Amino acid sequence: MSAQEVSPLDRQGLLRRRTVLKGGSLALLLSGQQIAFGASIVAVRVWPANDYTRVTIESDGRLQSRQLVVGNPPRLAVDIEGIDLNPALRELVGKIRPDDPYINGLRVGQFAPEVVRIVFDLKQSVLPQVFSLAPVAAYKHRLVLDLYPEQPVDPMEALIAERMRDAPASAPAPAYAQPKPSAADPLGDLMAQQAGRPGPAAPPTPVAPSLPPTVAIAPPRPAAPPSVSPAPPPVAATSTRTDRIIIVALDPGHGGEDPGAIGPNGTREKDIVLQVAHRLRDRINSANVGGNPMRAFLTRDADFFVPLHVRVQKARRVQADLFVSIHADAFTNPDANGASVFALSQRGASSSAARWLANKENDADKVGGINIRAEDLHVQRALFDMSTTAQINDSLKLGTAMLGEIRNVGKLHKPQVEQAGFAVLKAPDIPSVLVETAFISNPGEEAKLRSASYQENLADALMRGIQRYFAQNPPLARSRQL
Ligand SMILES: [Zn+2]
């Protein structure tokens, strides 16, 4: 919903409008369908991230709010009606981190009887989205303030920026390779950066058109990093080389408002899966496929919530070759144990347990909280329902390769790749799997998931699985990059 829109109930005049804020042409938003006067704030949370910063105000009744954006210096004022200032709300001031990309600081005050005003001093102009969420899981009513940048963060540019930061000092990028990538050939820039040659559109040399540029300037690297053992069979034919960076999208599940499953000793799934993703990222970033460098792209690299369809969109934006969603399982029976790997299904789930799990993971949007009406969500889900048999077949191969490696470092819950309708696996053009690393609800496996050594073993196994998959299914050339 844009800042200018009001909900249908607002249009029907069911809500009283109070002229609490006077702002000329400034955007005004009413939210809420019932005013819960006398509600109490029970918690406040802040989730800063480059994509957006979220402030959540949780209360025991639904809150009504209105907001006002003020420029120069940029500020955002939010009036919350029906409450009085309480200690929980005052805590918000101390929860703003100095490195928050959007919020410099904030003030909270009782603006009028039963009206609390929060003024955010901003580091840059934002497009705020303010919306309410009904009670779900452990949460009561939530008023959510999402502060988005006016210029959305582009996953491809973020990936290139990270690549540039990591570039070895001994091989600085030429200045002319630095400008922002063109939308037409973003990977061309990445490749130019990798090879230290000017980009974005250097044509293949007539001398050795089939060789990747890295081979021309450096001795061939081993087929796998030292931590990856045993090495998969090498890719035989040079004709399968694609002269580009191989991108693996890693998708740490949950995040921010959505902790995922919580172990008996309080371990949160969202924290474990981010740690495992970081370990796998390190392995990917130092590996290659048949001489082509690999690069990991994380759909989230901090503790904030990313809606399921946005995870898929991000992976497609960077033209990922693979998508690996990382989770930890949970069940009511604390004895349940072992890892499992899932692919998408076009024809129902492979088991009732798989269907149950897919439903649970698909509920992440409800817990994490997205600003979308139910009917929009339906349309959005339908748009993503374009899965292909080819994608699923490749996903099954990738999942099988991973299971074959995970069984060497831990127990398997199911020996075969299972299938169900996971929303996050619906990129029609990217082989996509969801890995349930172990049962966080099992005290023994919770302890393993917390341990650095098991996380390392797991990351090694996933890396070997990826290498094994690519050895048997070399990434295809993308014509516009050759
Ligand atoms: Zn999960």
CA 170 from centroid of its chain's CA atoms: 32
CATH class, range 41-149: mainly beta
What pLDDT is stored for residue 347 in this prediction?
82
Rounded distance from Cα 388 to ligand 1 centre (Å) = 24
Least confident of 221-230, 341-350, 397-406, 456-465: 221-230
pTM of the model: 0.77
Rounded distance from Cα 451 to ligand 1 centre (Å) = 19
What pLDDT is stored for residue 385 in this prediction?
60
Residue 449 has pLDDT above 70, yes or no: yes
Candidate ranges 32-36, 71-75, 453-457; pick with highest mean pLDDT: 453-457
Question: For the chain, which residues make up each domain, given as ranges?
Answer: 41-149, 230-472
Q: Is the dihedral of CA 237, 240, 242, 245 positive or negative?
A: negative
Rounded distance from Cα 320 to ligand 1 centre (Å) = 21
Q: What is the mean pLDDT of the chain?
A: 79
Q: Which two tokens stand for residue 115?
A: 């009206």
Rounded distance from Cα 325 to ligand 1 centre (Å) = 9
Q: CA of 336: how far to CAs of 341, 358, 402, in Å? A: 15, 17, 20
Rounded distance from Cα 420 to ligand 1 centre (Å) = 14
Direct distance between the N- and C-terminal alpha carbons of the chain, in angstroms, rounded to an integer: 41
Cα–Cα distance for residue pair 99/203, rounded to 1 Å: 42
pLDDT in tens, 50-77: 999 999 999 999 999 999 998 889 999 9
What's the order of all strands across the beta sheet hosting 103-112?
A: 28-31, 64-70, 75-81, 115-122, 103-112
Amino acid letter at 440?
I
Rounded distance from Cα 49 to ligand 1 centre (Å) = 20
What pLDDT is stored for residue 348 in this prediction?
86
pLDDT in tens, 72-121: 899 999 999 988 898 999 999 999 999 999 999 999 999 999 899 999 99
Rounded distance from Cα 163 to ligand 1 centre (Å) = 28
Q: Given this chain, do its domains 41-149 and 230-472 carry the same CATH topology?
A: no
pLDDT in tens, 189-236: 443 343 333 333 333 323 233 323 332 223 333 333 333 334 444 444
Q: Is 281 helix (H, G, I), strand (E, B) or coil?
A: helix
Phi first, then psi, for residue 469 (nearest 5°) are -60, -50
- Which residues are CB-contacts of 426 (< 8 A; sequence separation ≥ 6)? 312, 344, 384, 385, 386, 387, 432
Rounded distance from Cα 56 to ligand 1 centre (Å) = 21
For tokens 């934002």, what's the residue? 126
pLDDT in tens, 355-394: 999 999 998 999 999 887 655 666 666 655 666 889 999 9
For strand 322-329 and strand 340-344, is the pairing parallel, antiparallel, or unpaired? unpaired
The CATH fold assigned to 230-472 is Aminopeptidase (3.40.630)
Contact between 199 and 193 under an 8 Å Cβ cutoff? The reply is yes
Rounded distance from Cα 111 to ligand 1 centre (Å) = 41
**β-strand partners of 420:** 344
Phi first, then psi, for residue 297 (nearest 5°) are -125, 125
Rounded distance from Cα 32 to ligand 1 centre (Å) = 30
For strand 141-149 and strand 115-122, is the pairing parallel, antiparallel, or unpaired? unpaired
Rounded distance from Cα 238 to ligand 1 centre (Å) = 39
For tokens 């990798």, what's the residue? 194
Rounded distance from Cα 257 to ligand 1 centre (Å) = 13
Question: 1 pLDDT band (50/70/90 cuts)?
Answer: very low
